[in-house]
Structure 1
Amino acid sequence: MTGAASGIGKATALLLARHGAKVHLVDIAADRLIEVADLVRAEGGEPVTHVVDVSDPAAMAELADAVFAGDAAVDLLHNNAGIGVGGRFIDLTLDDIQRTVGVNLLGTMYGLHYFLPRMRKQGRRGHIVNTASGAGLVPIPLLGTYSAAKHGVVALTEALHAEHADGQVGFSVVCPGVIDTPILRNSPQRGGLVDVDLIDRLAKRFAASPESVAEAVWDAYARRKVVVVVAPLFVTPAWWLRRLSPRAAQFGSRLTAVALEQVLGGAAERAGKKVNA
C-alpha cells in the first residue's frame, strides 16, 4: 500500500485491517506512517512500515525484496501514492513536472516492475489496484501535468489487463473524482491563480470521503473490476461526452479552462487584497 500515511491510502489500509490483513504501509512521511500503523493494529490488522520514495527505483526494488522475504506472497498491491500541482503548464517549474510524473506515473510503473513478476510466480492469484483519478479519464485544465500522468496510469492498467488474460494477476484502476484528501489542499499552486481557502471550502461542500474510495478499492479487488469511477458526479458525464463526441468534449474543456481561471483567479485576487489590507 503506497501513499499509506494519509487520505485514500490510510482509509484503505484501515479497511484491509478490519479484514485481518497484514498490511505493508509505504510512504515517505515517516511520522504519519507510524500513526497509521497504530490505527491498523487497533483495527485488527498486522502493520509493517516502510519509508520509501516511490519515485526512486532503487528504493522500490528494496521494498519488493523486503515484502517478498521468506517466500511471502502478495494478495493485493495498491499503487496509490500521488502528488498534485495546480496552475497553467507554462507556470510550472521543471521540478514540478518531474516530481508529478515521477510519483504519479513512474512510481506506479516501478511498483509494477518490481512486484508483478514475483506475483505471477508466487503460486496463488494476486491483484493490483492502481489509483488514477477522474483527471485520468478527462483532461482537467490547470492540472495538465497531473492529468497526463493519471491518463498514463489508466492506459497502463488497461494494457496490463489485456496482456495478462490468464487471470493469474488481475488489474484494476480506481478513478476518484473530487475526494477530501491532503492532496487536494496541499498541492502547490503556480501562477497565483488559485485561492487555497476556496479549494478548502469546495472540498468541504462537494468532495467525497477517502473511505468511499477505500470501499471501491476493496470492491475492485473482490470482483476484479477493471475501471472503477468513484464520486462520479462530475467525472462520468464528461467521460462519456469525451467518448461519444471528442470535439464537443474539447470545446467543453476550453470553456472549463476559461471558467476556472475566472473563478479561481478572481478568488485569489480577492484573497490577496484581504491580506494586503
Structure 2
Amino acid sequence: MRTVKSGDVSLAVYEQGDPADPTVLLIHGYPDNHTMWDGVAARLASQFHVVSYDVRGAGASTRPRAVADYRIPELVSDVFAVADAVSPDRPVHVVAHDWGSMQAWYAVTSGTSRIASFTTISGPCMDHVAFWTRRRLARPTPRNLAQVVWQQLHSWYILLFHLPVVPVVLWRLGFGKILARIEGLDRVPSVVDGIHGMKLYRANIFQRMKDATEQRTDVPVQMIMPTRDRYVTPGLLEDVPRWVPNLWRRKVIGGHWVALERPAVIARMAEEFIAHIEGEPVTRGLQRALAPSSFAHRLVLVTGAGSGIGRETALAFARDGADVLVTDVDLLSAKETADMIGPAATAYHLDVTDESAMRRLADAIVVEHGVPDVVVNNAGIAVAGPFLETSAKDWSRIVDVNLLGVVNGCRVFGALMAETGEGGHIVNVASAAAYLHSRALPAYSATKAAVLALSGSLRADFESAGIGVSAICPGFVHTPITRATTFVGVDSSTQDAMRERTSRLYRRRGFPPSRVASAIVASVRSNKAVVPVTAEAKFGLLLSRFAPGIIRRLARIGVTR
C-alpha cells in the first residue's frame, strides 16, 4: 500500500504483481472500497501489475466533506493521478465497476493516451444515459417508453440518496446489511463509506443528465453485462455502440456485484481482453462478444452426428456461422459430416454411454476449442417389439444410449457451461413417442419419456446458471435409425423385412431430418422448452394434454414414432 496525492486528497493505493508487467487499474464502485477486487486481483497478479485504490470518500482515502469535491472532474483527476504514479511510462488497462466505471468513462473519453483498454461492469456513462433517455422520449413508442420506465424503477435509490437526512439515517439503521442480504453478499458495506459515497450521486447525476455532451472514444472497451443486475437494465446499454466503435459486449451470469460473486469469471474475461489488446490472439469469447446475437464463433457439439438428424443439425449450425464438433460412435461417419461442413467442423469418436470417455473428450475439447456454447444430445437407438419379448440386455442397451447418454452429456458439458459463467444451451432429442404411447415401442417410449422429463427438470435446475434446455420431439422422420432398429422376438430374416417395411413407411411420410435440424436451431434461439416436430407430433402433444384417453386407445394398435 502507498499513498498518492490528487490535489488535496490522499488516495490509498494497493499494488500486486510485477511492476514490469502491463498495469491493470481496478476502480471500485459504491458503496465499496478496494477490497471488493481482492478475488479478481489475486487471479490477475500472476500476469499483470495489478493496482486498486480506495476512491475519495471510501476506505483509507480522504473523505472530503463538500459535495462539490466529488464531481466528475475531481474523480477523473484521481484516476490519472494513480495511473501516473503506478505506471508513468505505459498506458494502463482500466477495469471498473459501478461508480468506478461511471467515473472511468470520462477518463476514457477524454482523448487521453494513458488508457490502453477499458473493461466496464454495471457502470454506464451518465452522458450516454442522458442521450439514451432523450432519444427514447423523443420517439415515444411503447417499447421506448417501457425501457425508460423500467430503468427508472431500477434506479429508485437515486432519488432516495438526494433526500436530506433520511438516507443517512437508513445507513445508520442497517441499510448496508439489508443490501448485502438482498444481493447475497458475504460482506456488509461500511456505513461510513455508504454515507460519504452518496455525495457521488448528489454531485453528478442531475447535472450530467442536464448538461450531457457526447462522450466518444476509440479506446477498446469491453462491456461486461450481468444478467441479474438489479440496477442497470440491458436496454440502458443498447446505444453504447454509437459512441464506442471498438466495443466488445459480453454477458455474465450473475448479479450487480458479480466481481464478488464470480471473481474467477471476471478475472478470465479481463485477462482475455487485456492480453488481446497487448497483442495476444483473440479468444473465442472475444470473437463472440463482437457478434453477441448470432451463432458466429459459437461452438456447437452434436452427438450422433454421423447421419440423420445429427448430421443435418451439424450442417444447420455451420450454415449459421457456428464452429461444430461432430461426434459419433462411428468415427468415419463423423468425419464424413465434418468434411461436408469444411474447416469449421472437427470430428471426434464418442460413445455416449462411456462417461469417462466423454469427460476425456470434454477436457481435450476445452484445450483445443474452448467450452461449447450449445450441446445437442442427439445420439440414440431404437428397440421395437412387445414388452415381454424385450430382454434385459435390450433394456440395458437402450437405456444406456438413449437416457444415460443424454445424462452424461448434460452432466459433463452442463458443468463446464456453468463454470464459464456465460450460460449456454442444451438440446436433448427426445421423440413424440415420449407421449404417444405404443405397445410396439415400450422400451423406446420409456427412454424418450425419461429424456423429456429430465429436460424439464434440468431446465429449472440450470436456469440460475443461464443455461437453457430444450427437448425436441420429432414424429415420423425419415432417418437411418429405421434401418438400424432392433425388432425383438423375431428371427433375422423377419427383422430385415420389418426394417425395410418401416423404412419404406417413413420414407413415404417424406419428412426429412433437415427440418428437425431447423427446429433445433430455432429452439436454441428462442429457448423453447418443448418442441414437437411434424404435424403428428404437435397434434399428439395436444391430445396427450387434453384427451389422454385417445392416446391410450391409439397405443393398443401400435402407433410408432
- TM-score normalised by the chain length of structure 1: 0.86
In structure 1, stretches of 5+ residues that fail to align are 261-277
Residues 204-238 of structure 1 deviation map (CA, whole Å, 9 limit, x = unaligned): 2114111001100100011111100111x223333
1:104 aligns with 2:406: no
SS at match of 2:486: coil
Report deviation, 1:82.
Answer: 0.4
- What residue in structure 1 maps to residue 472 of structure 2? 174
In the TM superposition, 1:174-213 aligns within 5 A as 174-192=472-490, 195-213=498-516
Equivalent residue for 2:532?
A: 229
The aligned residue for residue 140 of structure 1 is 438
Q: Is 1:161–1:171's contact at 8 Å kept on the other side of the alignment?
A: yes
Q: Distance in 1 between the 2:538 and 2:368 partners?
A: 44
| TM superposition shift of 1:249 | 2.7
Q: Report the Cα offset of residue 71 of structure 1.
A: 7.8
Aligned pair in 2 of structure 1 residues 62, 241: CA closer, same or farther (>3 Å)?
A: same
- Distance (Å, rounded) in 2 between the aligned partners of 1:80 and 1:151: 15
**Closer/same/farther in 2, CA of residues 71 and 186 from structure 1, 3 Å limit:** closer
Distance 1:248 1:200, change over 3 A: closer
Contact 2:438–2:445 (CA<8 Å) still a contact in 1? yes
> Is the 2:471–2:530 contact (alpha carbons within 8 Å) kept by the matching residues of 1?
yes
Does the Cα contact within 8 Å between 2:437 and 2:551 map onto a contact in 1?
no
Report Cα offsets for 1:100-129 as digits up to 9, x if no partner: 110100000011111111101213221111
Residues 1:38 and 2:336 are matched in the alignment: no
Answer 1 or 2: which has greater helix percent: 1
State the Cα RMSD in Å: 1.9
The worse-fitting range, judged by mean Cα deviation, of 80-89 and 163-172 is 163-172
**Per-residue deviation, residues 139-195 of structure 1 (Å, max 9, x unmatched):** 222111111000011001111112233361111010000111111222111223762
- Which runs of 4 or more aligned residues in structure 1 lie more than 6 Å from their structure 2 counterparts after TM superposition? none
Q: Report the residue type matching 1:154 in the other structure.
A: L
In structure 1, what is the equivalent of residue 367 of structure 2? 69
Structure 2 equivalent of residue 26 of structure 1: 327
- Measure how far apart 1:239 and its partner are: 2.6
Structure 1 Cα separation of the partners of residues 478 and 551 of structure 2: 26
Q: Secondary structure at the match of 2:348?
A: strand
Higher strand proportion (structure 1 or 2)? 2
For 1:36 and 1:174, how far apart are their aligned partners in 2? Answer: 21
Structure 1, 193-202 or 116-125: larger mean CA deviation: 193-202
Tell me the CA shift for residue 13 of structure 1. Answer: 0.6
Unaligned runs of 5+ residues in structure 2 are: 1-301
- Where 1:166 maps in the other structure, the secondary structure is helix
Which residue number in structure 1 is paired with residue 312 of structure 2? 11
* Secondary structure, counterpart of 1:109 in structure 2: helix
Q: Is the 8 A contact 2:421 2:465 kept in 1?
A: no
Matched, 1:86 2:384: yes
Q: In structure 1, what is the equivalent of residue 423 of structure 2?
A: 125
Residue 246 (1) aligns with residue 548 (2)? yes
Instruction: Return closer, same or farther for 1:71/1:205 CA change in 2, 3 Å cut-off.
Output: closer
Give the distance between the partners of 2:432 and 2:312, measured in 1 at CA. 19
Query: What's the CA shift for 1:70?
Result: 5.8
In structure 1, what residue type is equivalent to 2:335? Answer: I
Q: Is the 8 A contact 1:137 1:154 kept in 2?
A: no
> Identity over the aligned pairs, expressed in percent?
36
Distance in 2 between residues matched to 1:146 and 1:244, nearest whole Å: 23
For the residue of structure 1 that corresponds to 2:384, the secondary structure is coil
Corresponding residue for residue 274 of structure 1: none
Question: What letter matches 1:163 in structure 2?
Answer: D
**1:55 and 1:103 in contact (8 A); partners too:** yes
Structure 1 residues 197 and 70: CA distance shift in structure 2, 3 A: closer
Partners of 1:47 and 1:149 lie apart in 2 by: 30
Structure 1 distance, partners of 2:463, 2:501, is 45
- Offset of 1:73 from its aligned partner? 2.5
CA distance in structure 1 between the aligned counterparts of 2:337 and 2:369, rounded to whole angstroms: 26
Could you tell me how far 1:64 is from its partner in structure 2?
A: 1.5
Deviation at 1:95, TM superposition (A): 2.0
Question: Aligned partners of 2:482, 2:510: CA distance in 1, in Å?
Answer: 10
Matches within 5 A, 1:256-271: 256-257=557-558
CA apart distance, 1:69? 1.9
Closer, same or farther in 2 for the Cα pair 1:235/1:109, shift >3 Å? Answer: same
CA offset at residue 19 of structure 1? 2.0
**Letter of the 1:4 counterpart:** A
Match of 2:80 in 1: none
Max Rg structure:
2
Give the stretch that moved more between structures: 189-198 or 82-91. 189-198
